[in-house]
Amino acid sequence: MDTVTVTRTDTVVRTRTDTVTVTRVDTVTRIEELPLQPLGTWQFGIGVGGALPTGDWRNVVKDGYDIHAHVGWFPGASVFGIRLDGDYVAMGGRETDCSACPGAKLFSAGLDAVLRFPLDRKSPINPQIYFLGGAGLDWFQDFTPYRTTERPPVIVTAGDNTFIATGTQIGGAVVVTTTQLNDDSSNEWHWDFGGGVQLGKFFIESKYVAISTENKNSAYVPIRIGYNF
């Protein structure tokens, strides 16, 4: 009897590789605020507009024009500042009352306090509203006197450049001539208040200006549009 022993060894190597790819997308929303528009420390402006006489003065002069320039200073770019104004105002005479009278022409210089309120400093046009008021001096080139409607009435004049018209009968015609008066004043002062709106570099504003003419104030309202540099 033979015994046979058979030995067999099998080696099995099994390799498995799994590749897993994970993709992650993160979305980040970033909100950036627009920068605030500067208010500015210095302001240089020019403008033009109408000049509207008020009250009894309107009986002898009609609506005219106003040529304007100003320099403003706001310390520390604050909302409060001061402004130096210069104006040339011309208002023609009414032909029905005095066709030979020159109306009114004057140079004006004033100093105003200004308070401005920004409405949206993130807007590119940086809208603002502002209020101003102050006082100044006026020099008349021409002035047509007028009678007030109050009781008792008074005659309002304005210094050396006040003119009146007189009629002279020559034959069958009346010749009208103007005569320059001479009272005790050569310049006047005024007080004023008003407001305006600024959009970007452009502005529109109006004021009430009361001039201390002889016997009673003469007031007008300038309405102007302009540009600030």
Residue pLDDT, tens place only, 21-30:
777 777 777 7
- Give the three-state DSSP class for 95: helix
Give the number of other Cβ atoms within 10 Å of residue 16's Cβ.
4
Can you tell me the distance from the alpha carbon of 198 to that of 200, in angstroms, rounded to the nearest whole number? 6
User: What backbone phi and psi angles, to 5 degrees, belong to 160?
Assistant: -65, -25
What confidence category does residue 165 fall into, taking pLDDT thresholds of 50, 70 and 90?
low
Q: In the prediction, which pLDDT does 98 show?
A: 65
Cβ contacts of 22 within 8 Å, gap of 6 or more: none
| pTM of this structure | 0.77
Average of per-residue pLDDT values in the chain: 86
Encoded tokens for 24: 């992650």
What percent of the chain lies above the pLDDT cut of 70? 86
Q: Enumerate the domain spans of the chain.
A: 42-228
Residue 158 has pLDDT above 80, yes or no: yes
Average pLDDT over residues 18-39: 77
- Give the three-state DSSP class for 210: strand
Average pLDDT over residues 123-138: 96
Question: Which position has the token pair 């008349």?
Answer: 140
Q: In the prediction, which pLDDT does 159 show?
A: 78
Residue 205 has pLDDT above 80, yes or no: yes
Helices and strands counted in the chain (H then E): 1, 12
What confidence category does residue 32 fall into, taking pLDDT thresholds of 50, 70 and 90?
low
Give the number of other Cβ atoms within 10 Å of residue 2's Cβ.
3
Encoded tokens for 120: 């949206």
- Of the candidates 200, 204, 201, the residue with the CA atom closest to the CA atom of residue 227: 201
Q: Higher-confidence residue: 112 or 100?
A: 112
Q: In the prediction, which pLDDT does 172 show?
A: 42
- Choosing among 2.40.160.20, 3.40.50.2300, 3.30.1490.20, 3.40.50.620, the CATH entry for 42-228 is 2.40.160.20
